[in-house]
Structure 1
């Protein structure tokens, strides 16, 4: 099977469609894509649109979310900053991405019926090694959730970081 923008995909043992690595400009590298729910979805064109939108993003998308990611960092600093000698010191949102390393996979899924298609990326971050960082792009175009990786695609409200 082929998905526009991703090329040929194969089904893995969990039922996800998996691509070969595809260059992702906004993340600065090549990533394997896991596409969930595509085969049975009544609107696969929405997956195509989300992939296309995500691949068209540049660094401005991450810059727009830096304040939300920095809020997540500060919250974890309130909890652990004084207890850990190696807790990073980040002066502001403009430096927060320097402390994040994206994994090598991108997930595309609709989530619940009636939801838009979301693109989700997991990353390691220096301030929360256990839960890392999850960045979710609604319809592949706009970051709508950042925070610890919990697998959820949206917050209860339209906020970039919601304390857990």
Structure 2
């Protein structure tokens, strides 16, 4: 089953062996089901985030492609390796693994979706995206496990958003 609607995502809700609540959500761009980590019982905000996620379009993915490729270039440059792929090939070298919804104290009307990805060029850290609503990149960088929509994650050259 592809959990590609709110109802189908809700049908996949479960508690894992450690007591964490999770679900599956279909990531159409990558044609795969991804783990949705949930901090608590799903509420109206989480349901809004699911609907926002399913509304992500090509405009956002163009921005994510450019920012992800810039991260790829900067990482290879920092370790002295040559650039081996073109921007258009970036999706072949990364895979989303986990999605998490973050709320903002300062902007309760917006949705914030945090995505953890594995990537070929940075096996140890992977990549992290933080997306506001359907079109605004807040953070694209090595995965650090922390994303706060109330704090501009301006890590100078390591934030490619």
TM over 0.5: same fold?
yes
1:90 is aligned, of 62, 85, 91, to 85
In 2, Cα distance between the equivalents of 1:53 and 1:31?
A: 16
1:119 is aligned, of 113, 116, 120, to 113
The unaligned stretches of length 5 or more in structure 2 are 1-5
Number of aligned residue pairs? 150
2:101 is aligned, of 76, 100, 108, to 108
In 2, Cα distance between the equivalents of 1:106 and 1:61?
A: 16
Query: What is the aligned partner in structure 1 of residue 22 from structure 2?
Result: 18
TM-score (norm 2): 0.72
TM-score (norm 1): 0.71
SS of structure 2 residue aligned to 1:128: coil
Q: How far does residue 13 in structure 1 lie from its aligned partner after superposition?
A: 5.5
The 3 A distance-change label for structure 1 pair 149 and 74 is same
In 1, Cα distance between the equivalents of 2:106 and 2:15?
A: 24
Q: How far does residue 77 in structure 1 lie from its aligned partner after superposition?
A: 1.4
Alignment of 1:12-161 (within 5 A): 12=16, 16-19=20-23, 21-38=24-41, 44-82=43-81, 89-91=84-86, 93-103=87-97, 105-110=98-103, 113-114=105-106, 117-139=111-133, 142-154=136-148, 157=152
Q: Which has the higher helix share?
A: 2
Q: How far does residue 138 in structure 1 lie from its aligned partner after superposition?
A: 2.1
The unaligned stretches of length 5 or more in structure 1 are none
